[in-house]
Amino acid sequence: MAVIMYVDFPHKGKWGDALAQEMTQLIESIVEEPGFIWKFWTENKDTQEAGGVYMFETKEAAENYLNMHTERLKSFGYTNIRSRIFNINQKLSKMGKAPL
């Protein structure tokens, strides 16, 4: 069953198009991860936070990616990384027009 994963962290860097240009290689690698379905990139310049909401085919795939990604973020100098993995209520999500 597909799951949603949420990650955020303090970010004091580029935003918008500048961030997109800087992260092109990163997203190209993310879409190749086992079990990956999609990612919404999130950013809030006012609160200096960035992150993403991901969908993976299984909880195991999300956990495997999260472990690797957390270490990668730490290697980029990020700290205070927060994450959560949630099951999806398919019926309510479809009613809410979720991209399933």
All structural domains of the chain: 3-95 (3.30.70.100)
For the question of whether the overall pTM of this predicted structure is more than 0.85, the answer is yes
- Measured CA to CA in angstroms, residue 83 lies from 39, 43, 90 at distances of 14, 15, 21
pLDDT-derived band at 100 (thresholds 50, 70, 90) equals confident
pLDDT tens profile 23-82: 999 999 999 999 999 999 999 999 999 999 999 999 999 999 999 999 999 999 999 999
Between CA 70 and CA 88 the distance in angstroms is 22
pLDDT in tens, 73-95: 999 999 999 999 999 999 999 99
